[in-house]
Structure 1
Amino acid sequence: MRSLFFICIFTLFHHSSFGEYQYFKFDSDKLNISEQRYRRYIKPQLKNIKTEYFYLSKKISYESDIVLKLRNAISNLREAYLEYEDSCFNKKGTANQDLCKTGLNVLIRDLYKSNQLIFDLRNDLISDLKVKHYNYNNYINFSGYLDKIEIIIYEIISHLETNRLISNTSYQSSFQKNRKIPLKLTKIYTLTNLSITELIAKDARPHFEALLYNFIIPVEENMLKSFSPEWFKASLGKLNLAWNTFHVNIEKGDVDISKKNANLVKIMHNRWNSILKLIF
């Protein structure tokens, strides 16, 4: 089994087209992904890969640290709103109204903070003269994403402010959860991810986009926010394919990258391979 794995890794490293890669075969029942191994080794390594991905994307682009703060803020808002819904719109009607009010106030506050981050982000990019003639179109696209995010945030705020106004009134019982809000939060989360890759240099952008959507986000949702060993086993072939495609294209492709940043990709690659060696 181990020899088959390394043969497939070798095959992956000698192709450059995503469509030509083959999944390596393995018996998922034999993979050793215990909770102890996950907590002590797998999760920290995956978390480091994620952190290094965003650090690297910043180093090869003109993006600001604030865009990552915005992404984290919106990601946290998605989770916080779902918790608020589960607690305050349960069918049994046993919600603690004081806690619901507090949760609602926190949500509204954090939504306003997210919009402030958008303002700060625009100001940061312009004031530091990061927008130059050769990347002006990228900034226009980037700014368009921010406009859409800002509008949706205000739509959500409007709905939640209405909820706050009618709380403790005779109209409160008629106020139901809005099923569109989780979808809107997911949409602005997606727009934030698009805005991040928009600022990456043109030659590297497709590779960073592919890794973000096929590796970073799935791992973040299923292995960093929770422990989902069955998902990891089922997705391991796709994750390995996504990672090795990125690694080959960045290290051996036509991407203009410094030696220091290339070394960081090697570190990330070693982290991923160390996880595979541990579980096989």
Structure 2
Amino acid sequence: MLRLMIILLMGLNVAYAAANPINNYFSYDKKIIDCSDYEFRNYVLPQVKNIISEFYLFLRKVDPINNDLVNLKLEIQSLFYTWDDLSNLCAKDQTKCNNELSSFYKQAGVVDKRITTLQSQQLLVGPIDNFMIDNRLFLTHTLYELANLNYRLVHKIERLMVKTSANNENISAELRFELQPVIQEMKLTSELMLASLMGEELRDNINFVYMNYIKLLEDFVVRKNNKDYLIEGLEETNIAWNTFHMKMTKGLRSVAPSNMNLITTMHNRWVGILKVILDR
């Protein structure tokens, strides 16, 4: 099911970009870019973080029900980052690894409670419009998948905890490769869930900008503190954002003007980042 969702989403992104062509506002030569570490650390990175925060604030303001979906997505993202850090730690220090593995286990338990709460809320939902039935069914199925994935994750963590407590074995390889497929699928599934309760047009826009812009900023620029990644992918990232911004501001009428102000703020921040990087 998830593989089908990924294929469909990739097709959507290609079709979306093809149907909404836009010129890249900033043509540039990567060889002459001179963004210092100081500029990246003190201006670019804080502005990128603000853009990400405002994206989630936009989702929350569009409909209060999105608040729970955003919270779950961010908790699963945090769980994924913890796993990544723990995998690196366990390759170096087994004692610290054992201590942090217990914390990771507790964090997975928090995610489980969040999923269960959301599932209960879905069961209590009253009458809904016909156009929302498919959305609700998709969300219900997604929460079911996340619950199963998290159960598998917790089971694997428990097995590793028993193994380390009994034999004090180094579990770094197992932690990395056995847990990786499960937790990566959890992360992607939670990302695909973000816009699940929105109308079709807005949902397509949000999925597109998340997968082609926000996700890259989160996972590589902010998470990895990677200036080079931002510069290398600047043209593609800029086109993705401009496509989204044009579609939202020129063609979409289903979002309140007060919420659209957030999109304008994000756009102004992005233009400011480009000006610093390209020294314009």
TM-score, normalization by structure 2: 0.83
Residues 229, 95 of structure 1: alpha-carbon distance in 2 compared, 3 angstrom cutoff: closer
Deviation of residue 226 (structure 1)?
A: 2.5
CA distance change for structure 1 residues 140 and 174 in 2, over 3 Å: closer, same or farther?
A: closer
Q: Which residue of 1 aligns with 2:248?
A: 250
Contact residue 31 and residue 279 of structure 1 kept, 8 A: yes
| Separation (CA, whole Å) in 1 of partners of 2:212 and 2:253 | 20
**When you count helix as a share of all residues, which structure comes out higher?**
2
RMSD: 2.5
* Partner of residue 211 from structure 2, selected from 192, 210, 213: 213
Per-residue CA deviation, residues 92-148 of structure 1 (Å, 9 max, x unaligned), is: xx6343x22221111111111101011222334555759554412201101111111
The answer as to whether partners of 2:105 and 2:157 remain within 8 angstroms in 1 is yes
- Whether the 8 Å contact between 1:111 and 1:153 is mirrored in structure 2 is yes
For 2:190 and 2:153, the matched residues in 1 are separated by: 16
Structure 1: which amino acid aligns with 2:202?
Answer: A
Greater CA drift, 170-179 or 258-267 = 170-179
* Separation in structure 1 between the aligned mates of residue 21 and residue 201 of structure 2, nearest angstrom: 21
Structure 2 CA distance for partners of 1:273 and 1:129, relative to 1, 3 Å: farther
Q: Does 1:167 align with 2:164?
A: yes
Q: Which secondary structure does the structure 1 equivalent of 2:233 belong to?
A: helix
Q: How far apart are the structure 2 equivalents of 1:205 and 1:22?
A: 23
SS of structure 1 residue aligned to 2:194: helix
Pairing 1:151–2:148 present: yes
TM alignment of 1:59-208, pairs within 5 A: 59-61=61-63, 63-88=65-90, 90=91, 95-97=93-95, 99-124=96-121, 127=124, 132-169=129-166, 172=169, 177-178=174-175, 179-208=177-206
Could you tell me which of 27, 30, 35 is aligned with 2:37? 35
Do 2:34 and 2:277's aligned partners in 1 also have CA atoms closer than 8 Å? yes
1:47 Cα deviation after fit: 1.2
Letter in 2 for 1:63: I
Distance 2:232 2:167 in 1: 50
CA distance in 2, matches of 1:170, 1:27: 55
Indicate conservation of the 8 Å contact 1:33/1:279, yes or no: yes
- Contiguous gaps of at least 5 residues in structure 1: 1-15
Structure 1 counterpart of 2:32, which letter?
Answer: K
Sequence identity percentage: 20
Aligned residues of 2:20 and 2:243 also touching (Cα < 8 A): no
Q: How many residues align?
A: 260
Conserved? CA contact 1:28–1:234, under 8 Å: yes
SS at match of 1:197: coil
Question: How far did 1:30 drift?
Answer: 2.4
| CA contact 2:160–2:171 (8 Å) conserved in 1 | no
Alignment TM-score, normalising by the size of structure 1? 0.83
2:4 paired residue number: none
Note the C-alpha offset of 1:173. 7.0
1:155 Cα deviation after fit: 0.7
CA distance in 2 between partners of 1:191 and 1:78 (Å)? 12
- Unpaired segments ≥5 residues, structure 2: 1-16
Equivalent residue, structure 2, for 1:232: 230
Q: Secondary structure at the match of 2:28?
A: coil
* Contact preservation (8 Å) 1:57, 1:200: no
